[in-house]
Each structure stands twice: as C-alpha cells, then as structure tokens.
Chains A and B, each alone.
Chain A
Amino acid sequence: MNIHEYQAKQMFRDAGVSVLDGLHCRNVGEAIDAYRKLGGGVVAVKSQIHAGGRGKGTLLDPKTREVIMEGGVKIAFSEDEVRDYSDRILGNLLITKQTGGSGKLVTNLYVESGCDIVHEYYLAMLVDRGSNSLLVMASREGGMDIEEVAETNPDSIHRITSSGKSGFNRDSCVDLGSRLGLIGPALEKFTDMVSRLGSLFIESDCSMIEINPLVETSDQDIIALDAKVSFDENASFRHPEWDDLRDYGEEEEIELRAKKTGLSYVKLDGDIGCMVNGAGLAMATMDVIKLYGGEPANFLDVGGGADENQVTTAFSIILEDPNVKGILVNIFGGIMRCDIIAKGVISAVSRLGLERPLVVRLAGTNVEEGKAILSESGLNIHPADSLADGAEKIVKLVKGGA
C-alpha cells in the first residue's frame, strides 16, 4: 500500500526525520493560503500522486488530452505563480514514466518551502530478500533515476544491512554516511536520520522508504526533500490508522474490488480472460496461452480457499473487460475443491450469462465431483483435460469466433 508524499512527510516529521515546512492543499485557495503561511518566498508546488517521475511528467486535460503544462512539480517565486501552477495542476491528468499512458488525476497538492541545496543524494530502505534483512541503499547520485544509476554506475550505490528488530546501529550508519563523502555536522545529521528511519520502518511495517533526493543544504543540514513510503499489506491487521491514509482514488477500482473479495487481479491487454488458483499456476497459464498463440486479458488468482461468491465475483470482473472474447478456467485443487469451483462457475454463468466461449480445466481435490457438476449442468462449457489442452481449446475458440 502506497501513501502520498505529504502523508509520508508528516510521518517523517513525527519521527524526527528532517523535512521542510509544507502544507497539503486540495484547491487553489488552500495553495495560496499555504504560500502565505509558509512566509512567501520560493516554494515548490508538488502534484501528489502515487507514482514517481512527477517532476518530468506532463499534465493533460482529462477530456481533451491537450497538454496543459510540462512538469508536475514547479518552483514558484510569487503568489501569482502559486495560483497559476496549482490551477494548472489540480483536476488534470499527470502522465509520468511510472503512470502509464492513462496517467493519474491530480486532486492533492503539497506546497513546500524552498532550501539552499549543496548536493543531492539517494536513499532507500527496504527488505532484502537475499539476506533476510533490512537494507539501506544510498548513493551520491541523487535526484535521478536510481535504475539508471544501478545500470551505469553500480559502484556508486552503497549498502548497509540490519538483521532484526533493533534497526540500524550507529557505527554502520556512520560508515554509510562516510562512504557517501559526508563529514562533520552533515554526517552527524545523516547518521541520526538513518537510525530514525530504521525505527520508523519497523514500527510502521513499511515495505519501502525511498528519499530521492535527500539533500545536503548550505548550512550542512540533511533534509528529505522527497518521501515515498509503502506499507506491507500483510501487517494491516495491526495498523488501523492506515485506513485514514489510504487514497482509494489512486487504486485501480477493479483491482481494488478484486482485492476486497480476496482475489488478486491484474488487467492485461489480451483477449483471453483467465481464472486460476495460485499465483504460479496463474502465471504459467498466461505463459501457455501465449505459447498457443493467444494473448491473456488478465492475471487472476482466486487464491487458496475461494467460495462460490468469490468465483462469481471473479467471473464478473473478467467479463467487465470488453476485450475478453473467451475465458479459460484452470484450477488445480489443493485447498480449493473442484466441486466448489464448478458450483461457482455455474452460478456465475446463470447470473451473468455466457455469450463467450468458456473452457474449464479441473484437476486435484474432488475433481470427479467437479466435472460431474459441470457436465450435468447442460451449459455450453468446454472441458479440458490438461493445461495445454485447455489453452489450445480456448485459443482456437477465440480465434474461430473472431
């Protein structure tokens, strides 16, 4: 789960991690008020969306898709500029290299004081699956794409790890800061910040904290100029406060609805809808569809213990995609029982209708009962004996019908 920069910065502030003064705004009036409250001067007017690359993004009119402005983060030197920029940002679509072509509608702004930057660094904290530990990565090459740095200058990325609940010890933080070339008060501030971020990461069940850029100012202060925080969804049971931080407008409505029902759905560009149990088998099913010359319309994992209701929801989600010309159901029952899937398929089909070809492959727990239920239903369902058979059949049916 991701949150906005203004929310992340409030968390930083509460944890004693240095950020500049700034205010969250929802309209032009609030932006102007914020400018006055911050004491005028130079401010940054920053679009708030859950995607990176905002500074280099493009704002489009959501209806005409006409370009409104280049750059979703603007430096304003006066109240008039604040008014102008916020007016051109709010209510428009921001397209960045992380948003995809459809972009994200900007409804939140952050107006933040300026500062005198001497150098920009990169810092990220995350869980490293290789070493089963917390990891900090930092680089002197801040402000740019870290993927690019990793590609062109991997030696400039420095790392420290921590193995448990204690966070990062002082010595390793000092070591990391020194490797970045920090000295004196800036090194002291950096050390303090990394240790505070470590505690914040653990207490808040983060999955990632990314600060790009982290800046050194002319008075040797270290400040988080940007803040990207994501949480580990598995820990939501112990963080009721996340409900207030969640911006439903940022999440794909259909993916969100799937998640609420316990399904994992990702929309893709093809025309064969698939419903599978287990992430690995779901990916493999997509792979096989492609091998037989088809294109999957989605990834959909119904999970371990789906009931009839979930199967019906899964079907309606697949059918909502107008590109879907046929559906392949591939279930290898373990926890999941094939008879329950079969009943779910029938109830979904009887409620939603079935105008598109449907191939069902069942295997595993209670497979015979499942197959019997499907064949006795009298519905036009094409049974398949194996994954390959199922993929071949659905590709033929979809191509034949086109």
Chain B
Amino acid sequence: MNPKRKRRLTIVLAILVSVSVAVGLALFALKQNINLFYSPTQIVAGEAPEGARIRAGGMVVEGSVIRDTESLLVRFELTDFAQTVPVEYTGILPDLFREGQGIVAQGAVDERGVFTAVEVLAKHDENYMPPEVAEALKAAGTLPTPEPEVFNK
C-alpha cells in the first residue's frame, strides 16, 4: 500500500475505534435508562422509584390470576423466579396473556407494595413450535420456560 492510502486507512480505522469507544462509554453510562423495565427483584429491593410511572417485566405466576366477577379488574403475581410482586390491572389484556407468560406492565408501585398497572403488554419469547409439539412437551413437562436472567440484565 502506498503511504497515502495507508494514511487514509488509518483515518478510517481511527474513526471506527473512536466512535465505538465513545458510544460504548455512553451506553454503559446509560445502562439503567436503556432497560425497558424493572424486574421484580429490583422493585422489591427498592431500586425502582416508588410512586413514579415505571415498567415492570416478569412472568405471570402459575395459578395466581384472579379475575373480578363484577369488573375488568385482574390480580396476578409477577415473578422473575427470585422475587414476586403483586399486580392489579383494570382493562383488556392482550391475547397472549396467560399464566406462565412473560409480560411487561406499565404502572406504579403504591404504598401497599402493589404494582398498579395501566397497560399490560405480552412479552413473547424466542421459542416457536407447532401446537402438537407444544402439547407433547407440556405432557412431558419439558416446555421451555424463561430463566431469571431473561428479566435481569
């Protein structure tokens, strides 16, 4: 390579390296702000601001969903398999909402320690399979379930 091209190559590499370092540091500094939601562990530990509008993400605990017979009020528990937070929501839930499903809820923690949600979104995992396979796996008890790390990054 002639010196001119070598110098231009160095400049291009320098741009790449310096931009990566700068953006990397910025993202590292903003780590908590980029997370879409707090996990139940963080909420129980008091890391999430109390009373402020936040998002909570986790799995709906099996057998915890209680629907009010008079209204659209739903109570359930949200877990990351380490801690559990009770959630209350009034409204229509997404189709994918069910026990054992990952969700992200928007709302605030009140003084009782209950998370009052104003919006519930279903969080889909990366597993896809035909219904027959899912049923066979369920019968065998080997249906893939998310791990605590999925909600704690």
A and B associate in one complex: no
Q: A-contacting residues of B (Cβ < 8 Å)?
A: none
